[in-house]
Amino acid sequence: MNIIPYGRQEITSTDIESVLSTLRSDYLTQGPAIYEFEKNFAICVGAKYAVAVNNGTAALHLAYLGSGIVNGSRVVTTPLTFAATANAALYCGADVVFCDIDPKTMLIDIEKLEEILKVENIDLITIVSFAGYPIEHRKLSEIAKKYGCKIIEDACHSPGSSRVYENEIVRTGSCDYVDVTVFSFHPVKHIACGEGGMITTNCEDVYEKLCLLRTHGISNKELKFKTNNDGLWYHEQHELGYNYRMPDILAALGNSQLMRLRSSIQKRNEIAVIYDKHLRDLPLTVPYRENSIEHAFHLYVIRTERRKELYEYLRSNKIFAQVHYLPVYLHPYYREKYGCLKGQFPVVEKFYDECLSLPMFPTLSSIDQQYVISKIIEFCN
């Protein structure tokens, strides 16, 4: 039996040919593959604009800057996320406030969020669609408007997810109810570019700022020039930006993988249903989900009070399950620099003590999944 990881990329012959075609072209960066990927991604999620960057953290950083986050701004987010969600706000000089999670969905607790907004001056809410569970877009939008906040959705786990209301389907990334959405193309994500990220928005001003900031703050558009144009070579730096450009090689791979997003989501949900069927009667908790959502299932997270023992048992049987995540405020950096304390957020800490991400990826074979299930049953018995 080979090792079964919790996540794995799928690279097809079509993906390889897309990359080879770009390698044979005139452009390895700042070429047509970027525009093609951005255009197709925006269409896929239903947004007006999409901006490709070199990784998900860069996407978060630019999303904060594009949303007007500056030194002294205050951002509230969930502690159940990869550290980059909060770190990128700190890059801008913002103060980060954490809010505990909902014990069912594992997303930010909306009632506790509103309690924070009532007493603290918050500029922006960053919501994380943990494991692929789509956020409650409408309700969060109402709350944000009530308290004058903007919303960033960290959807690095959830491209292809959606939420169904009585009169509309809201796709993650459409930005119908949030200001900016961020995606990651890390190898274990739905779209695997090696590295890469995407930002979507429906605001033209935000879009133009993102495009400017990802390329050193430099513009070569004549209409934007503030002095005389000296020739076709001329360009101007208007802001202090960054080199966050995505190479065409990665864009070509991402564009090819984007074509399989729907089938990937379907397969992940089929795998989840099989896990549900075989695990729900064991002394552990399977993921909760409402009927009104389409889950992206980046992760399939079970909960058990014997998490460490199960983790080690599975690993001894070549099943490399994973734990997502140590709450951000419990990392030494946040504890030492910001005085964060264990016990501040009991729901997320209990979840961390019990959570375990099982193998979940579209190429997980039925034989391998049944092996994983059999070992969990064996452990429980």
Total-model pTM: 0.97
End position of a domain, from candidates 231, 258, 285 = 258
Q: Do 33 and 123 have their domain in common?
A: yes
Of residues 68, 129, 126, 66, the one with CA closest to residue 293: 129
The helix (H) or strand (E) run that includes residue 5 is strand 4-5
Co-location of 141 and 271 in the same domain: no
222 with 250, same domain: the answer is yes
Q: Quick: pLDDT tens for 102-137.
A: 999 999 999 999 999 999 999 999 999 999 999 999
- Contacting residues for 133 by C-beta, under 8 A, at least 6 apart: 105, 106, 107, 158, 161, 289, 293, 295, 296
- Domain containing 153 equals 4-258
3-state secondary structure (DSSP) of residue 175: coil
pLDDT tens digits along 165-191: 998 999 999 999 999 999 999 999 999
Give the rounded percent of residues in the chain with a pLDDT score beyond 90.
94
Task: Pull the structure tokens for residue 129.
Answer: 């669609």
Q: What was the pLDDT predicted at 223?
A: 67
Cα atoms in the Cβ-side hemisphere of radius 13 Å centred on 167: 1
pLDDT of residue 229: 78
Q: Do residue 251 and residue 267 come from a single domain?
A: no
Give the per-residue pLDDT at 220.
Answer: 80
Q: Report how far residue 229's alpha carbon sits from residue 234's, in angstroms, rounded to the nearest whole number.
A: 6
DSSP state of 197: E
Q: How many domains does the chain have?
A: 2
Is residue 254 located within the same domain as residue 265? Answer: no
Q: For residue 223, what are the CA distances in angstroms to 53, 108, 231, 302, 311? A: 24, 42, 14, 54, 58
Length of the chain in terms of residues written: 381
